[in-house]
Amino acid sequence: MSKFGKKKKPMPAVNTASLPDIVFMLLFFFMVTTVMRETDLKIENPSLPNASEVKKLEHKSLVSTIYVGKAKEKKYGTGDKIQLNDKIATSKDIAAFIYNERSQRSEKEQPYMTTSIKADVSCSVGTISDIKLALRDVNALKISFSSRIPSGIKQ
């Protein structure tokens, strides 16, 4: 009996060895899910123009993006190319592209849909104007010319 009374063991520390595993699991989850679901660029990564009077596009789910620039592969030829989704397209395909984008959103959201044009600085205005006319035909009137805020200029 005396054995029991004498030996007073200290409280065993809670084993926290599995905590890192849990946190790592979370870490991997976030690392995998937050990767931008950016479409495969068929054109060269456009160097966006600089502008200070920019507005942020708030509802990302309502933005459809059109890329304009030089094609990466030679088979498409030189000159400005338009990329919709994963394909190189022409301005004639824009109407179908917009209709497709619209069908994926509810009717309530449709008036707030914006088209973001990510074009390279060296593009010609003619191509942009073709896009604008095509968008006007399908009544997709809200557009945004994607540009960067130059560092050093405060908003």
- Residues at the interface with another protein (CB under 8 A): 16-17, 19-20, 23-24, 26-27, 30-31, 34-36, 49, 51-57, 60, 63, 65, 68, 114, 116-117, 119-129, 132, 135-137, 139, 141-149, 155
CB of 140 to another protein, least distance (A): 8
| Token representation of residue 80 | 């400005």
Residue 41 vs 149, nearer CB to another protein: 149
Residue 63 in contact with residue 57, Cβ under 8 Å? yes
| Token representation of residue 7 | 């030996």
- Between CA 40 and CA 80 the distance in angstroms is 17
- Between CA 155 and CA 30 the distance in angstroms is 31
Which amino acid belongs to residue 53? E
CB of 17 to another protein, least distance (A): 5
Residue 119 in contact with residue 130, Cβ under 8 Å? no
Residue 1 vs 11, nearer CB to another protein: 11
Residue 1 vs 34, nearer CB to another protein: 34
Residue 85 vs 114, nearer CB to another protein: 114
